[in-house]
Structure formats: structure tokens, C-alpha cells
Amino acid sequence: MKIFITADYEGVSGLVQWNSVGEREAITADINSAIAGAFDGGAKEVLVGEAHANMRNIIPEMLDPRATFLSGQPKSLNHIGGLDSTFDAVMLVAYHSKSGTWKGIMAHTYTGSVFSLKFNGIEVGELGTDSAIAGHFGVPVILVTGDKAGCDEALSLLGDVETIAVKEGVSRSAGKCLHPQEARKLIRDGAKRAMGRIGTIKPFVIDPPIKAEVVFVDPTYADNLEHLPFIERVDGRTITFPLQISLTPLRFSIWRNSMAEA
């Protein structure tokens, strides 16, 4: 079986604020736990992608040598660059809840410029968007690890997916954490269990035609985008546009990056 693992930052074991000491080591350790669980569960090939900031957070010499990894940006499909329909399943490691989530540790949607993102009225964050892109390829998300708020979001959105909560938020920048060793044992065990559920967990698919709605934190972002021919300006902070499945993944990635740079 061929597994794609993508790793963010905010859901890493033991971390509750950005720019923490030992963060790259912690990210790599959580990823290794998921890799080990995937191979425990029968994986034959694992590709690891990165989903945080400059996407160069993995420490190569510390990574489980059984896996290959895709690092850096820009890349088509952004967080899940490298994914295609040949994969059997996706694991989202160290993910977080969407912007505005109560007690969501470091909760945000992309760069923090987005307050709300919806597809056909379904509100999603990075977790939901990446799951929907995987679903476009017919690939299910079988595991989500992160804080409790992120795991609750995954269960609400994706259904009966395997989740591992390694911490619980007290506020956006504070939380009660499991010891990293215990958290990583749970991640490995959860990844192995998830492997056994391949074929029973369905891909997260948003049926076309798809209408996207974005509410920005700052109206300036909407100002910068409203001139594009496919954009409809709704109010000071909100735009909508049709998201065509026939568009290439690269074009979606370009649009997503244009929002981040606006």
C-alpha cells in the first residue's frame, strides 16, 4: 500500500506557541511515529510532504529512512504536493483547527488573513481543504493528529476518521499536553489502526459545481482580488467565485498562493 503523510506544525506534540525551542525535532519525531505506524500496518511506500511555513521543517537525517519526503515550495497542491490517485490513503499529522475555533491551539486558516473559508456552504480550514483535494483524487484521509479542537473538527467534517489528540487547548496559545513520548506512541498506534481501515473510510468529496466563499480578516485582501474576472465581491471582507473541478491542481495552488501574498 502507498501512503501519503503531510505534516503541519500547530498540532505537534508538546508545542503551544510558534517559534518554540526544538520545534523541527518535534515535527520530525511526530512524523516518524506516523511513518512507523503506517509500515506496522502494511504500507509498502510512504511519501512525506510538508505543510507549514517555508515547508522546510523536517530534519532529513532524523527522518525514518524507509520514507521519502518532499520539501520546500512552491509546489502544486501546496500542502499536499506530490499526492495523486495512485495513493491508497492520506495521513494528516500535526494539523490544527480553523480560524476562530474556541480553544484551538494556534488555530488559523492559512496565513491568518482568512477568517472563514467555505465550499458550497461547508466551512473548512486547512484540514478540510486538504482533505477535499485528496477526495478529488479519490484518496481518503484515514488519520488526523493534533490538538483536541482539530481532531473534533476532523470528526465533524470527515466522519469516522482515526484521530489522535496529543493536547487540549486552554486558549489559542496555551494547552494541556501529553508527554511527547506518550503522544508519539499514540500516533504510531493510531496510524497502524488507520491502516487497517483502508477501504472502509470514504474520501471527503465536495460535489460540483463548487462555489467558494472567502471572508478575510482585513478588507484589503478583498480589495486586491476583486478585479479578477471570476471574483464576485459580496461585502467589505467577503468574495465568492466558482471553483471548477476541471481546473488543474496547479491553478488552484496559484489561486491559494495569490491570497497569501495579497
pLDDT at 35 over 50: yes
> pTM, whole model, 2 decimals?
0.91
Binned at pLDDT 50, 70 and 90, residue 195 comes out as very high
pLDDT given at position 62: 98
> Residues 154-190: pLDDT tens digits?
999 999 999 999 999 999 999 999 999 999 999 999 9
Residues with catalytic roles: 108
Buried b / exposed e over 100-134, threshold 16 CB at 10 Å, is ebebbbbbbbbeebbbbbbbeeebbbbbbbbbbbb
> Residues 124-157: pLDDT tens digits?
999 999 999 999 999 999 999 999 999 999 999 9
Using an 8 Å Cβ cutoff, are 58 and 28 in contact?
yes
Angle at 249 (CA atoms; ends 197, 245), nearest 5 degrees: 85
Phi and psi angles of residue 242, each rounded to the nearest 5 degrees, phi first: -75, 135
Q: How far is CA 5 from CA 16, 197, 220, in A?
A: 22, 16, 35
Nearest Cα residue to 91 out of 43, 142, 46:
142
Which of 15-29, 70-84, 240-254 is least confident? Answer: 240-254
